[in-house]
Amino acid sequence: MNAIECENLGRSFGRLEAVDRLDLGVPAGSFFALLGPNGAGKSTLLKLLLNLLRPSTGTSSVLGRKSTSLRAVDFQRIGYVADGQDLPDWMTVSEFLGFCRPFYPTWDKDLAARLTVQFDLPSDRPLSKLSRGMRMKAALLSGLAYRPELMVLDEPFGGLDPLVRDDFIQGLLELPGDDRPRTFIVSSHDIDEVERLADDVGFLAGGRLLVHEPADALRGRFRLVEVVGGAPVSLPSPLPSGWLEAKQPSENVVRFVCSSFEPSGGEVQIASVFPGAQVSVQAMMLQEIFLVLARMNRGKGAL
């Protein structure tokens, strides 16, 4: 079962296609990272899912209910934390949590107390006196304490220094299984920050979903390849399917990205194209993979 379903989902603002007829299914029980640069359409997509914006085309559903039909009882199953989220600054942390509690029948006071300690939040301090990182932790706590099935985090690392970002991520990683929402969706342009969290990844650029697949599968099929020959080497023409960004910095060196690398025999297969040359293959991080895909999207190349 999918926690999120989108079919031909789009949202335009005048001539701008913020979300461009997108199809997406996010499995229940996954930690889905929606990655892309600023302005890619990530926040717009999340707002469409949560009925904070109406679609121009297509449909979406969340936890089995059509987004445009979400009711208060549905939002009791969904947590939402966004960068720059408004909070009642005059309240202390304790007062803020007390204010939120009556809206959620499933609010767990013991869980809220444990998270307050885990996140090192000062209960008696006004939210206005907290650092940006502490305010994000308070917002996250208020979204976790009623044990939602789905937690949506929209650019949660924005403006946080590296230490606070690490504390935030560790807070998510250290949540015991019973205290964790079943499904997470995190949108971020800080790709390195979510690499250790995500088991399912979608890359968005210009409102288009460039790729969506399990993180391990994506990392498994992308390799940076360098070929060095004792004699001149040349790229085959046409390039084999899945060879991207091919370059020849010198007559003896060829570099390219292989997006269809097979762990078993892939290096030998590439070497057969360049007899006698030395082939080196290097794994790629999600950040590097995204940059390749984003550059191709900018040139409207085939993905």
Does 191 share its domain with 239? Answer: no
Among candidate residues 149, 66, 148, 151, the one with its CA nearest the CA of residue 108: 148
pTM of the model: 0.87
Residue 217 lies in a domain: no
CA dist., res. 286 & res. 215, Å (int): 8
Residue 296 lies in a domain: no
Does 181 share its domain with 238? Answer: no
Does 19 share its domain with 144? Answer: yes
Residue 302 lies in a domain: no
Q: What is the CATH number of the domain that holds 162?
A: 3.40.50.300
User: Residue holding tokens 């509690």?
Assistant: 101
One DSSP character per residue, 240-258 reads PTTEEEEEEEETTEEEEEE
Does 170 share its domain with 97? Answer: yes
Does 191 share its domain with 229? Answer: no
Per-residue pLDDT of the chain (303 residues; tens, 9 = 90+): 899 999 999 999 998 999 999 999 999 999 999 998 888 899 999 999 999 999 999 999 999 999 999 999 999 999 999 887 889 999 999 999 999 999 999 999 999 998 898 888 999 999 999 988 888 889 989 999 999 999 999 988 766 677 777 777 777 766 767 777 889 999 987 777 788 788 999 999 889 998 999 999 999 999 999 999 888 898 998 999 899 999 999 999 999 999 999 988 889 999 999 998 999 999 999 989 988 988 887 655 434
Does 14 share its domain with 112? Answer: yes
Decide which of 155, 188, 212 is a domain's last residue. 212
Q: How many domains does one find in the chain? A: 2
Does 69 share its domain with 90? Answer: yes
Q: Residue 118 is part of which domain span?
A: 2-212
Strands 150-154, 183-188: pairing is parallel
Decide which of 212, 247, 264 is a domain's last residue. 212
